[in-house]
């Protein structure tokens, strides 16, 4: 997850085994987000999927692979109509009802959580735990779930065991002394040997 415009860090995420790089800059203007996503796309160059957080317009403008929408962003139905199959659409979910709605609405993947307490959101939703994650995986009906919220290297294996297809680990990787080692350890928990 890129929370800043830093091509060198994007390269380190790839070294760590990231197969998806999400540009998430909550306070950036559309212009700043587009510039950061464009630079990340150049670094990624087909080695990973590029996801733009919140902004379908920016994702389409830079030719991203996906957009990730929150519950207060553009509704999934509208996003699917506008994107017209040009990119994948992920949706953040925080309970089973949201999981079912997004899966039935045609989301390509779901972010679910927070699984654990997190410091990356100002007003986080209630913690769901691995039991909530397991229930979300069942409710998703085969739509892949990316676990979010408080995922650490130590917790990655239990998140994978709960059925998550992947994990988004912002603080555990971006704030690590060795982001490459942290990313590789999390990837290994999900059976990725890169």
> How do residues 126-167 score in pLDDT, each as one tens digit?
999 999 999 999 999 999 999 999 999 999 999 999 999 999
- The pLDDT of residue 68 is 98
Active-site pick, 92, 135, 155, 184:
92
Cβ atoms < 10 Å from Cβ of 77? 10
What is the C-alpha separation between 12 and 31, in angstroms, rounded? Answer: 24
Q: Residue 193 — pLDDT band, cuts 50, 70, 90?
A: low
Give the total residue count for the chain: 194
Average pLDDT, the chain: 93
Mean pLDDT of 66-95: 97
Close Cβ partners of 63 (under 8 Å, ≥ 6 residues apart): 41
Characterize 108-147 residue by residue with b for buried, 16 or more Cβ atoms within 10 angstroms of its Cβ, and e for exposed: ebbbbbbbbebebeeebbeebebebbbbbbebbeebebbb
Active-site pick, 19, 39, 80, 121:
121
Told to judge if 121 belongs to the known catalytic residues of this protein, a careful annotator would answer yes
CB-CB contact of 71 with 92 (8 Å): yes
**And the tokens for 23?**
């540009």
Mean pLDDT of 173-193: 89
Question: pTM of the predicted model, to two decimals?
Answer: 0.92
What is 24-74 written as a DSSP string?
A: --TT--HHHHHHHHHHHHHHHTTSSEEEEES-HHHHHHHT-SEEEE-TTSS
Active-site pick, 24, 41, 55, 184:
24
DSSP classification of residue 126? P
Told to judge if 24 belongs to the known catalytic residues of this protein, a careful annotator would answer yes
**And the tokens for 5?**
């415009």
- The pLDDT of residue 31 is 96
**And the tokens for 4?**
């800043």
Could you give the domains of the chain? Answer: 7-189 (3.20.20.70)
What is the C-alpha separation between 164 and 167, in angstroms, rounded? Answer: 7
Q: Residue 13 — pLDDT band, cuts 50, 70, 90?
A: confident
pLDDT (tens digit per residue) in 35-75: 999 999 999 998 999 999 999 999 999 999 999 999 999 99
Task: Please indicate whether residue 122 or residue 77 has the higher confidence score (pLDDT).
Answer: 77
What is the C-alpha separation between 14 and 22, in angstroms, rounded? Answer: 12
Told to judge if 92 belongs to the known catalytic residues of this protein, a careful annotator would answer yes
């Amino acid at each position: 997850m890129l929370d800043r415009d830093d091509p060198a860090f994007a390269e380190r995420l790839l070294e760590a085994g990231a197969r998806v790089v999400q540009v998430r800059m909550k306070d950036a203007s559309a212009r700043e987000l587009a510039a950061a996503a464009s630079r990340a796309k150049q670094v990624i160059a087909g080695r990973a999927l590029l996801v733009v957080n919140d902004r379908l317009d920016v994702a389409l403008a830079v030719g991203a692979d996906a957009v990730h929408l929150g519950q207060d962003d553009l509704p999934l139905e509208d996003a699917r109509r506008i994107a017209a199959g040009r990119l994948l659409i992920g949706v953040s979910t925080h309970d089973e009802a949201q999981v079912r709605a997004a899966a039935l609405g045609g989301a390509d993947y779901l972010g679910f959580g927070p699984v654990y307490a997190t410091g990356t959101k100002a007003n986080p939703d209630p913690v769901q735990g691995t039991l909530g994650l397991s229930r979300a995986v069942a409710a998703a009906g085969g739509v892949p779930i990316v676990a979010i919220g408080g995922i650490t290297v130590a917790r990655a294996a239990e998140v994978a065991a709960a059925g998550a297809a992947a994990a988004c680990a912002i603080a555990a990787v971006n704030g690590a002394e060795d982001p490459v080692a942290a990313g590789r350890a999390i990837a290994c928990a999900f059976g990725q040997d890169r």
